[in-house]
Amino acid sequence: MSKPKPTPKTSDKRRHFDAAFKLQSAQLAKQIGFRQAASDLGVLEGNLRNWEKSIATHGQLAFAPLAQRDDVASEVKRLREENRMLKMERLVS
């Protein structure tokens, strides 16, 4: 006899949240507390904390596609190098 295949439970499926939801959820969590916000929104408290941490690190680009974040990071790196060169030129003259 073969075992019946388990039917997928709703908790077994991964849910995906868009960037706007994550940003608003993190704001709400800061206002009313992570535990209460997680309960009200039906998400895990750990998710809210991770989203908040990501926002603190990357700002509004926290949930942007990685390619977009890399573009911004490379532009910042280029501008810092340019700034460094301009400071050196100013010291020399």
Cα distances (angstroms) measured from residue 14 to each of 6, 11, 34, 42, 86? 17, 8, 21, 13, 49
Whether 1 has a pLDDT exceeding 50, the answer reads no
| 8 Å CB contact between 45 and 35 | yes
Give the pLDDT of residue 10: 56
Residue labelled with tokens 């941490």: 53
Say if residues 55 and 78 touch (Cβ distance below 8 Å). no
Confidence of residue 6 (pLDDT cuts 50, 70, 90): very low
pLDDT, tens digit, 9 for 90 and up, residues 77-93: 889 999 999 998 888 87
pTM of the model: 0.60
What is the residue extent of each domain of the chain? 17-62, 65-93
pLDDT digit string, tens, across residues 59-80: 888 887 777 777 777 888 889 9
Q: Above 80 in pLDDT, residue 43? A: yes
